[in-house]
Structure 1
Amino acid sequence: MAGQHFRVWFGERAATSDELRRIEDIEVTQEMDAFWEARLRMVLCLDAQGAWLHWPGATSAPFSRVRIELDNGSGTFTPLIDGPLTSVDAALDSQPGRSSATMVVRDDSAFMHRDEETEPPFQRRRASEIARELFGRFAQIGETRIEETPASPASTTRRGTALQFLRELGRTCDRHAYVLPGEQPGASIGCFLPDPEGPSALPPLVLIGDRRSLASASVFQDPDGGARTQARVLRVNDQGETTFDTSAADLGLMRDLPALPADLTPRRLLHPADNTREDPAGAASAQARRDGYVYHLSSQVIPGCYAAVLTPYQKVRIDAGATPYSGDYLITKVVHHITPSLYTQQFDAKANSQTEIAGAAVAEALGGGVQISVSVSGGIF
């Protein structure tokens, strides 16, 4: 695999060679349902008069744009983050070579979380229509990716920031509200989408064998996960009752077997804060999908052994040998760590089901069959 390269944009200009040399490391944290954040640590030094040189706050205004792109060896640069400079942190030391300044950058959803407001209710509007309107109010959002929602409640009231409101809407209709960096600088993508259902477009991550690309993998099974969700709502128009019951198995599993047998699946009521619509199907499905992710995995990619760049909201297949843990996972968090000499990816992922392991697969994983060696020795005393 070819070497990795990164580049940084400050506003509309690319960082100079001198600015890139002063960057000691970059850490970009991408997480579902949270701000994406980058931290660029840059070296500082003193001149003969005791003044700090290369202070980034002297040349970069608050909320000026910063963009980071990475080429993982494929020859194509992938944007990791594009958004405003939200703060500059300092670590100052009297000893030479130990001082630094850290530029903190967030994705463009930071602009959507600045002002808390109330506005007149949205009457008979689907959540997808409201999301399209709110994203359109921000010049930093160049395009949108929105999957239509079916329900049109009588009234939806916004109180809080635009981002808070969109995420609350998402909880009631099984959607995530987030912002991705666009292909071009300064034009991010506003997303209002469910969890992906199709197969992964990423190459598999392998724990064992010649194609190994994972250093290790830790899997945690949530003992309270996998619940069915029940909802019950009193209708205003006829005083009747609407009920809905669903689980991750009903919504579609990622693998062969459910995490729990049907007779051991716990039942949970839809949370009262989300049970506010006459049709509770969207909110109940969203809660059941969240509760259905029983398996949580943490791992680290071996540097130089994987050609793709991981990001949340994507599926990836993980091959962990002949175990129930092999199969598709939904990536929930990725930490990209970039230095002038090394690039690493740490990530968290989750799954709502397990893989059925046949005896033949276990034998193949052990080398094509089962061999038994018996040694007997005896002695006379």
Structure 2
Amino acid sequence: MAESPLFSHEGQIVVAPSLTTLRYRDLRLLSLATLVTGAAFLGERVALGWLLLDRTDSALVVGLGVALSALPNFLLGIPGGAITDRFDRRLLLRITSFILAAATAGLGAIALAGMLSVAGILLFTFLSGAVRSLSQTVRQAYAFDVVGPHQAVGGMAIVSLAQRSGGIAGALATGEILVQLGAGYAYVAIALCHLAAFVFVLLARTRGQAAPGQQPQLAESVKEYVREVRGNSTLRALVFLTAAVEILGFSHQAVLPSLARDVLHLDAAGLGLLTALGSLGGFVSVLLVTLRPEPVHKGWFFMGVLLGFGLALVMLGASSSLVVALIGVGVVSALAALSDLLSQTLIQSSVPNELRGRAMGSWMLAIGFGPVGHLQIGAVAVSLGTATALITNGLFLILLAVVVLVWTPQLRKL
């Protein structure tokens, strides 16, 4: 028999290389924390989209809400990366998890008191997005720390699987809670997820085998990274590409509430189902990567993923039935998940080890351009319809992938 990720030539069961990273106790704890954090994140995304659409009946306002959640990535990406390299990453994860738990519980109390407004939702979305921006930077850097550079894709894939698994449950549960109990109880459930994440990261013991030894002062840390960016063309290309994909590809999330309600005629529970199936698509794609050896030609793999991402957006925009839309959302999310995984890994691998936190800050800065895409796709959806908005962005993403493939040989060599 041909050798596979699960069987040797002799037919014996073997462990997929990526799964061996689970031998690290702190990666298991980080994965558990990410599992419940993923549930909280997608749960909050479902609540945000549905509440804003229900109260304003505007896809543009929904786009504004999603944009505000991503704006802190742009504003705080580089400073967040410097903070990540300056302080113990376990401590930062504990602090951010606790803040998110307290803030979300407060929002739930406001909603239960009947005082929740659109302005309040938008303000909370921006502030929680700021904390989440730092948390995401720290989480990915710490995963790399624990498993080391030679198993980076595998270790980060395990964390990504945990996030997407939690996202499935969080989206489904939040949609149902919104229908049955209301926004207040939905936000309380999200707060409990953040609290559980705090407990898990509290148990982490080590800084990780690849944790940087020196911890520079923040000002010097930023200056050092600016020098690296100026002299590293591969890093600049990856950051630019990540930003462009965020604008053209990930912006589809802003029109999912409109797609669910206005095109597919679903309620909040239906939006939760649509979001959960998207997370399931991401889970399956990352699982397949986890079960394979580390990809050798990561640059070519990345370009292929982006081409497929664009084609899937076109498919989703052209869908007119619930079944096709569900498949489209699953495929789009599957390729989006691979895009995230590969861009995070490639950016961290393109810099010296002591700069990886700041490199992840660059990744956060790049995805911070997402608000441009959220507002753009929301405006096109209002003017020309949701389908046209998705198809347009998909075609431009295909064009981007082709141009990058032809004009950036340094990425093809990765």
TM-score, length of structure 2 as denominator length: 0.23
The structure whose Rg is larger is 1
- Larger helix fraction of residues: 2
Q: With the length of structure 1 as denominator, give the TM-score of the two structures.
A: 0.24
Greater relative CO (CA pairs within 8 A, separation 6+): 2
**Which structure shows the bigger proportion of residues in strand conformation?**
1
